[in-house]
């Protein structure tokens, strides 16, 4: 046991949040799960209060989940955590690193600048430009800038009866349209896990429902083990490197034209590492965090 006080920002009651809280409590004797919806920032005093506890007085914070649903309000929660960081609290991952990932476009631009292979992608507010992209791609996935597990995504094809009307409906909810060429994934994609920038393991998300266009667990996908070669591991390492995250997973697909990266996760998937690789990610992260706080 140590005397370190390390809190967990997450969703109380959710498995992954409780798993890292359990792992930290087993090692330190301290447990605090923090729902950011109940956190108050007083800039005058520099206090960040959750249920009477000033988070700025903790030794560290692990951010497992900042919000149940991704939206631009979640960015404000990360900004609040920057106050604790400025007052000396070590945060895993750093708020600035996560800020660059929650917005899908920020993540994509960073990956493109690092010359990471991705599906052809068009970003536009112009419906005619979006329609031209669909025509060029034949079939495209329209993605909200803030979403997880394929929520809010839809596939629009040039052969659909009225793709322009579908685009207009999507834009009504998403003024900035993220349009990505749909690629054949052969029924699976990969999650490549990294801890402190070091490769941990790879799991596959395998589609179980033939009618679903994606492989997410939310759509019925299943985790399985996967052994990548050295070249694929290096691709994953290069993709996550610009973000400097504590724990993350890189979403990769194997296509006829070679591997492509979809995104890098701000928080990573403990369950995929456990079910697909047989590794206790929460325990690994807890050990890494304690070592980081202690130095």
- Residue 191 and residue 164 share a domain: no
Determine the Cα–Cα distance for residues 267 and 240; give it in Å rounded to an integer.
Answer: 12
> Is residue 292 situated within a structural domain?
no
- Residue 260 and residue 201 share a domain: yes
**What pLDDT is recorded for position 214?**
47
- Residue 88 and residue 153 share a domain: no
- Residue 56 and residue 128 share a domain: no
> Is residue 192 situated within a structural domain?
yes
Determine the Cα–Cα distance for residues 295 and 284; give it in Å rounded to an integer.
Answer: 17
Supply 45's token pair. Answer: 């005093």
Share of the chain above pLDDT 70, in %: 95
Determine the Cα–Cα distance for residues 174 and 159; give it in Å rounded to an integer.
Answer: 23
> Is residue 271 situated within a structural domain?
yes
> Is residue 203 situated within a structural domain?
yes
pLDDT tens digit sequence for 65-77? 998 877 778 899 9
> Is residue 142 situated within a structural domain?
yes
> Is residue 99 situated within a structural domain?
no
Kind plus residue range of the DSSP H or E element containing 273: helix 270-277
> Is residue 242 situated within a structural domain?
yes
**What pLDDT is recorded for position 213?**
45
Kind plus residue range of the DSSP H or E element containing 189: strand 188-195
Provide the residue range defining the domain that includes 17: 6-92
pLDDT tens digit sequence for 163-200? 999 999 999 999 999 999 998 777 789 999 999 999 99
- Residue 279 and residue 188 share a domain: yes
Number of structural domains found in the chain: 3
Question: For residue 217, what is the domain's CATH number?
Answer: 3.30.470.20
> Is residue 106 situated within a structural domain?
no
- The helix/strand/coil state of 225 is strand
Question: For residue 74, what is the domain's CATH number?
Answer: 3.40.50.20
- Residue 207 and residue 145 share a domain: no
- Residue 198 and residue 163 share a domain: no
Question: What is the bridge-based pairing of β-strands 177-181 and 121-124?
Answer: antiparallel
pLDDT tens digit sequence for 200-239? 999 999 876 555 544 555 545 789 999 999 999 999 999 9
In this prediction, residue 1 has a pLDDT band, given cuts at 50, 70 and 90, of low
Determine the Cα–Cα distance for residues 161 and 45; give it in Å rounded to an integer.
Answer: 59
- DSSP assignment of 35-55: -GGGEEEETTTTEEEETTEEG
Supply 266's token pair. Answer: 């701000």
- Residue 131 and residue 61 share a domain: no
Question: For residue 167, what is the domain's CATH number?
Answer: 3.30.1490.20
- Residue 263 and residue 217 share a domain: yes
pLDDT of 153 strictly over 50: yes
**In the predicted model, what is the mean pLDDT of the chain?**
92
Determine the Cα–Cα distance for residues 126 and 135; give it in Å rounded to an integer.
Answer: 14
- Residue 266 and residue 196 share a domain: yes
pLDDT tens digit sequence for 104-120? 999 999 999 999 999 99
CB count within 10 Å of CB 38 equals 10
- Residue 57 and residue 26 share a domain: yes
- Residue 213 and residue 251 share a domain: yes
């Amino acid at each position: 046991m140590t005397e370190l006080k390390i809190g967990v920002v997450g969703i109380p009651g959710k498995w992954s949040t409780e798993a890292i809280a359990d792992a930290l409590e087993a090692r330190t004797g301290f447990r605090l799960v923090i729902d950011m919806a109940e956190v108050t920032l007083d800039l005058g005093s520099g206090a960040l209060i959750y249920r009477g506890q000033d988070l700025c007085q903790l030794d560290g914070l692990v951010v497992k989940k900042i919000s149940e649903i991704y939206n631009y309000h979640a960015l404000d929660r990360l900004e609040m955590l920057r106050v604790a960081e400025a007052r000396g609290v070590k945060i895993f991952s750093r708020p600035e690193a996560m800020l660059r990932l929650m917005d899908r476009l920020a993540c994509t631009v960073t990956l493109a600048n690092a010359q990471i292979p991705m599906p052809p992608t068009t970003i536009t507010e112009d419906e005619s430009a979006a329609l031209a992209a669909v025509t060029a791609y034949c079939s495209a996935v329209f993605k909200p800038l803030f979403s997880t597990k394929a929520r809010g995504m839809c596939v629009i094809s040039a052969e659909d009866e009225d793709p322009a009307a579908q685009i207009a409906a999507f834009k009504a909810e998403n003024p900035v349209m993220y349009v990505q060429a749909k690629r054949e994934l052969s029924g699976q994609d990969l999650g490549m896990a990294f801890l402190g920038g070091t490769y941990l393991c790879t799991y596959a998300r395998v589609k179980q429902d033939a009618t679903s266009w994606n492989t997410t667990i939310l759509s019925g996908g299943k985790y399985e083990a996967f052994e990548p070669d050295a070249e694929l591991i290096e691709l994953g390492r290069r993709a996550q490197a610009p973000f400097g995250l504590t724990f993350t997973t890189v979403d990769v697909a194997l296509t006829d034209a070679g591997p492509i990266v979809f995104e890098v996760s701000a928080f990573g998937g403990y369950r995929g590492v456990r079910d697909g690789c047989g590794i206790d990610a929460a325990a690994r992260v807890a050990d890494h965090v304690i070592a980081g706080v202690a130095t």
